[in-house]
Structure 1
Amino acid sequence: MSNPVTQLSQPSISLPVRGGEFTRPGAEELERLQRVSSATACAKLHGLGITHSFVEGPRPLTPGQRVVGSALTLQFMPQREDLASGLGQEYVERHTALWAVLETVQPGDVLVIQAYGSRFSGCIGDILARYFKRKGGAGIVVDGRIRDADRIRDLGIPVWSTGTTPHYASQSELFPWAYDVPVAVGGALCLPGDIVVADDDGPVVVPQGMADDVITAAQDHEEWEVFSRERLDQGARLSDYYPLTPDTREEYEAWRSTRVAGL
């Protein structure tokens, strides 16, 4: 009896799908964002009108790590039997977007993977993470699972995911479909070349065109929080120093001028 899957007609689509060319952010922008936490970046983006920048779900594989880098995107899609299914699929993966995107990695890239929070697709494993790191990749954000967690942890590469699984990437319901395309991760839109800021609070997507505005707003915020912590540790009232009042803002400006003069 023949296998009914072999009788399915094949759609006229060529995989993997690749999006258009994109420009990565400059090294200076990335360096300046190194001093900005994901919480501050998220708050400042909210004030600038971007209300969905937080990638909800992925947590750090190794707490205490941090990354700032240019988004390199990978999109998984639901499997359909006329395109990808059956035995030997792990070997078919080498001809998919998962392998293709890794050949485009540039130093400082953060691989951002759309996987719908799948609990059964191990989007990245040890060998692929090792190759990504060798190419200069800075970190990985997966709206889904990874496998080989201990080995990836030993590599030291920062990874944010929703958990782990023993499955390989296409073993369950998803298939690596496209790269260099817009992706939806944890309720946030990420475009190729956007900037990812990720730490223990989770990943945040900074639109590339808004990086300078975020940096400017964040620099003031981070500085006055240092001042406020100092005053609160000295016994000051919370309502006077967080956030600053007009009076304590003047006090902060004087404090800041003294610090700048001392440099």
Structure 2
Amino acid sequence: MIERFADLSTPTVADACVRLGVPLRAAPAGVRAVVAGHRLAGRVLPVRHHGSVDVFLEAYAHAAPGDVLVVDNGGRTDEACVGDLTALEAGTAGVAGLVVWGLHRDTPELIEIGLPVFSYGSLPLGPTRLDERESATLTSARFGAHLVTADDLVVADDDGVLFLPAARAGEVLTTAEGIRRTERLQAHRIRAGETLRDQTAFADYLDRRAADPAYTFRAHLRRVGGAIEE
């Protein structure tokens, strides 16, 4: 299942969540891969950073192969909280990648290591503070407006980062794969000369909307079997 998620784009997964009524939980805009093109999907391994790498080492001891370390550093832009050693050690624990609500450093080394790392960007400064641990340090992580735990999956690519409940992963995956098939077919037909307006019977939609202002394009797409937005 994780491999199938890694093959899907985050926009497609987001559209599937909307179609199914799964609450949307996206990382704040600006969280990007250190290496463009990197993709990541796995179970959330949450950790809250308080100024020392010891929390990462402790979290790795509880990692399952394919987990993704999700680091809550409060979105800080005055310090980098992960670097090359954190990424190298992640690999020894079987962790598939890192998603950081904050900054990274050691960019050339991270590129060489090749482990997917997502963050706001880079800064040479490491932490100089040491704050008190919280009771939830190893059980949940805040990421923007959202709280994530080991009951969640994370999916990330060049468009950003999404979190979704693992309990609904199967239905989200099936729906997302269906949306992707439809969109690929639509794209193929556009390239072959059939406009999207024709494919979606757009003129019919406009007529129906004129007669019924409550008739939405999303409802129309579902009626005709199209996929553009959800």
Tell me, yes or no, whether TM beats 0.5: yes
Q: How far does residue 119 in structure 1 lie from its aligned partner after superposition?
A: 0.7
Is residue 2:175 matched to residue 1:203? no
In structure 1, the partner of 2:211 is none
Residue in 1 aligned with 2:188? Answer: 230
Q: Work out the CA distance in 2 between the residues paired with 1:162 and 1:48.
A: 30
Provide the C-alpha distance between the structure 1 equivalents of 2:224 and 2:93, rounded to a whole number of angstroms. Answer: 48
Amino acid aligned to 1:171: T
Aligned residues: 207
Alignment of 1:122 with 2:94, yes or no, is no
The answer to whether the Cα contact below 8 Å between 1:121 and 1:172 also exists between their aligned partners in 2 is no
Structure 2 partner of 1:64: 37
Which residue of structure 1 aligns with residue 212 of structure 2?
A: none
- Bigger Rg, structure 1 or 2: 1
Q: Quote the residue 1:97 is aligned against.
A: 55
Cα displacement string for residues 85-133 of structure 1 (whole angstroms, at most 9, x for unaligned residues)? xxxxxxxx36x42331122232201000111210122211111211111
Aligned partners of 1:63, 1:136: CA distance in 2, in Å? Answer: 22
Tell me the equivalent position of 1:36.
Answer: 8
1:171 aligns with 2:144: no
Alignment deviations for residues 135-176 of structure 1 (CA, whole Å, 9 cap, x no partner): 2111110010011111111100111100111222x3258676
For 2:181 and 2:194, the matched residues in 1 are separated by 18
Structure 2 counterpart of 1:148: 106
Aligned to 1:194: 152
Per-residue CA deviation, residues 201-246 of structure 1 (Å, 9 max, x unaligned), is 1111121011011012112101111110011101212223368857
Q: Distance in 2 between matches of 1:117 and 1:240?
A: 45
Does 2:27 correspond to 1:55? yes
Task: Give the TM-score, by structure 1 length.
Answer: 0.70
For 2:122 and 2:60, the matched residues in 1 are separated by 21
Partners of 1:52 and 1:188 within 8 A in 2: no
> Residue 193 of structure 1: CA displacement?
3.6
Matched residue of 2:43: which SS?
A: strand
Mark the CA change 1:38 to 1:176 in structure 2 (over 3 Å): closer, same or farther: farther
* Matched residue type, 2:174: T
TM-score of the pair, normalised by structure 2: 0.80
Structure 2: segments with no counterpart, 5+ residues: 201-217
Of all paired residues, the percent bearing the same amino acid is: 28
8 Å CA contact 1:97–1:176 kept in 2: the answer is no
CA distance in 2 between counterparts of 1:246 and 1:207 reads: 25
Equivalent position SS for 2:69: strand
Question: What is residue 199 of structure 2 aligned with on the other side?
Answer: 241
**CA 163–241 in structure 1, closer or farther in 2 if over 3 Å, else same:** same
Q: Distance in 1 between matches of 2:192 and 2:99?
A: 39
Q: Secondary structure at the match of 1:64?
A: coil
| Contact residue 109 and residue 139 of structure 1 kept, 8 A | yes
Alignment match, 1:12: none
- Displacement after TM superposition at 1:32 (Å): 3.0
1: CA distance, partners of 2:105 / 2:182 = 41
Structure 1 vs Structure 2 CA RMSD = 2.6
Q: Say which SS state the counterpart of residue 117 (structure 1) adopts.
A: coil
Correspondent of 2:97 among 136, 139, 147: 139
Superposition pairs of residues 66-85 of structure 1, within 5 angstroms:
66-76=39-49
Structure-2 change in CA distance of 1:245 and 1:207 (3 Å): closer
